[in-house]
Amino acid sequence: MSTQKKPLSDKARAVGERIGSLRDFLEFLEENGQCITWTDEILPEPDVRNIAVAAGRDSMNGPAVIFNNITGYPGKKLVLGVHGSFTNLALLLGHPKGTTIKELFYDIISRWGDDKPLLDFIEPDAAPVNENRLSDNFNLYDLLPLYRINEYDGGFYIGKANVVSRDPRDPDNFGKQNVGIYRIQVQAPGEFTLLSVPAHDMGRHIMAAEQDNVPLKIAVMLGNHPAMCMFAATPVGYDESEFSYASQMMGSPLRLTKSNNGMDILADSEMVIEAELMNGVRSFEGPFGEFPGSYSGVRKIPRFKVTAISHRNDPIFENIYIGRGWTEHDTLIGLNTSAPIYAQLTKDFPEVVAVNALYQHGLTGIISVKNRFAGFAKSVAMRALGTPHGTMYLKNLIMVDDDVDPFDLNEVMWALSTRTRAEDTIVIPNMPMIPIDPAAEIAGKGHRLIIDATSFMPPDKLGSDSKIVTPPAGPEIDEIAKLIQLLQNGGQS
Amino acid sequence: MNTCPRCQAAEEKIRAEHKGLNAQGELVWTIFHCNACEFTWRDSEPASTIDYNKREAFFRVDPEKPYPVIMPPAQYK
């Protein structure tokens, strides 16, 4: 799947070439005032959580935070908030500070796809991730500065790992090899549970392995290239490669190598944990503070055994704060959730201008569309519910006109205030829903809401006498607004 | 006696997983794991997380009760 491509700017190309790993990106963020180091001694709990939440409050400009002095973990490094603000994403894509969310959305759209993958394969011996290799006596509690993310989580979670698995029924297919982010709870020094469900690509791999009673080997990549994390959380097609998408977005090659258990992995990751599914075993897991801002409860889920660990010298453990929003999770996946919905909608409805599905993985979405006739936006909304992501996630949809920026909530509220009739609200009962939505009627089922906040069109008569004020808008005004910001900051962007 | 802060399992069900040392090699905390309900905790955590009586009762777990099973292996047979 791809959208209208534009050549990358020189700056974007230069950043793409410079950043090959998490370390490169942290250095780049630091140079731009977007990464700080917390050097005071802190306890794993509750200090890490407190600092992560405070740093994450500013979703536009919050920094990544490196911790290098955690009690009981001398010499170990932890980083949070790498994708915690839109400015961090802007820098990754070669934009200056002050870039708007809407500009980032259109930039990602212009890079979207997997038709031009840029992948370099290097020998395992030359891969930095293999600088150190362990083959027994694994102790994840010692290797990683683990901690409890939210106070009632069932244990210590790895929340931002990119997990590689192959389809056991088509193991040589590169596209069907999946890279996804799944929550991992450490259950023993060398064992962990990993939550996936049948709807996930990895859920399909687990079920196939257990049905055929064959081993399912996986590689858990930690501390990865920042573009990889963005695509591991993106719902791309089952036979599309997340590696290809990530490389195409950066416009420069990603370096891959082979793990010892046969997965393609990033050569420059901080750590790769190789593991194998314990067929048929289910263990207590959870609760875990999830992205809707509520805990998902205790379940019995598949368990894995560590078989080998590779890591760079002085590995950096990258993790995420997730819970009641706004959190890094929302920034990490928001634009990449919006982009495929946009790409799918515009195939049938080129009138769609932009899609904002930033909120809680798209539980609320705002779609801007050029209305063709009365009721048209409602038809577009129905189509959005039928997209792969919409089927489970788009619970509340707000439809706005093409003159409303769906990423500017002041404008969206204006449309709601002036263009919505109560009758323009549709409730569709008993629809599928993600099981962890706290507003579900029963887990997995609930109601959908469409609010049509687009203007009246023929044959609509209502509101036809009123005339909208058209204040100056467009790129020229956007530039003036940025200039004002610059002047206000004393010439510093 | 060290019992599980979440399910009150007895001491024999509790595993000491890992001891955290400071740069001088002194013990600063210990991580425990409950074999009954799979709860993991560190003894330096706030009481609201590791004291059974101070934890919200909502989060208690009774390992004897049935809990939802994700992708139950039995479904394949």
pLDDT digits (tens, 9 = 90+) for B67-76: 999 888 865 5
Average pLDDT over residues A22-28: 98
CA A264 – CA A106 distance, rounded (Å): 30
User: Cα–chain-centroid distance for residue A190?
Assistant: 27
The single-letter DSSP state of residue A261 is T
Asked if B23 lies within 8 A of A43 by C-beta distance, the reply is: no
pLDDT at A465 (0 to 100): 58
Half-sphere exposure of A395 (CA within 13 A, CB side): 24
HEC readout, A22-67: HHHHHHHHHHCCCEEEECCCECCCCHHHHHHHHHCCCCCCCCEEEE
Q: What is residue A313's DSSP assignment?
A: S
A309 and A398 both lie in a single domain? no
Distance from the Cα of B62 to chain A's closest Cα (Å) equals 10
Q: How far apart are CA A273 and CA A305, in angstroms?
A: 10
Last residue of a domain, which of A295, A318, A341? A318
* A237 and A369 part of one domain: no
Helix then strand then coil, % of chain A, to nearest 5: 30, 25, 45
The residue written with tokens 């796809």 in the block is A113
Q: What is the pLDDT of residues A415-429, one digit of tens each?
A: 999 889 899 899 999
Establish, for the pair of chains A and B, how many residue pairs have beta carbons separated by less than 8 Å. 110
The answer to whether A148 contacts B72, with C-beta atoms less than 8 Å apart, is no
Report yes or no on A155 lying in a domain: yes
Tell me the nearest-neighbour CA distance from A205 into chain B, angstroms.
11
| Residue B32 contacts A, CB cutoff 8 Å | no
Reported ipTM: the value is 0.96
Distance from the Cα of residue A327 to its chain's centroid: 11
* Segments in chain B forming alpha helices (H): 47-50
Q: Residue A493: its pLDDT value, please?
A: 54
**What is the count of structural domains for chain A?**
2
Clarify whether residues A314 and A353 are in a common domain: no
What is the spatial distance between Cα A406 and Cα A409, in angstroms, rounded to a whole number? 7
C-alpha torsion B5→B8→B11→B12, nearest 10: -120
Q: pLDDT per residue over A130-164, tens digit each?
A: 999 999 999 999 999 999 999 999 999 999 999 99
Which pLDDT does position A492 carry in this prediction? 63
- A357 plus A307 within the same structural domain: no
Tokens of A169: 């029924």
Tokens 């479904």 map to which residue? B75
Report chain B residues whose CB lies below 8 A from the CB of A198: 71
Q: Which residues contact A35 (CB under 8 A, 6 or more apart)?
A: A26, A29, A63, A64, A65, A66
Distance CA A200, CA A238 (A): 9
Same-domain status, A197 and A243: yes
Does residue A405 sit in the same domain as residue A461? Answer: yes
Please indicate, yes or no, whether residues A306 and A365 belong to a single structural domain of this protein: no
Whether pLDDT at A129 is above 60: yes
The CATH number that applies at residue A356 is 3.40.1670.10
For residue A390, give the amino acid letter. Answer: G
User: How many other CB atoms sit within 10 Å of the CB of residue A184?
Assistant: 24
How many Cβ atoms sit within 10 Å of the Cβ of residue A350? 9
- Taking CA–CA distances from A156, the nearest residue in chain B reads B40
CATH code: domain of residue A275: 2.30.110.10
Evaluate whether residue A92 is within a structural domain: yes
Choose from A70, A76, A151 for mutation: most chain B CBs within 10 A.
A151
Residues A261, A360 within the same domain: no
Note whether residue A333 is domain-resident.
Answer: no
* Nearest alpha carbon to residue A212 among A260, A277, A275: A277
Decide if A71 and B28 are in contact by the 8 Å CB cutoff: yes
**List of chain A residues whose C-beta atoms are within 8 Å of the C-beta of residue B23:** 74-75
Point out the domain boundary residue: A297, A318, A339. Answer: A318
Residue A147 and residue A106 share a domain? yes
pLDDT tens-digit series, residues A236-263: 777 889 999 999 999 999 999 999 999 9
Range of the domain at A125: 10-318
One domain for residues A139 and A186 = yes
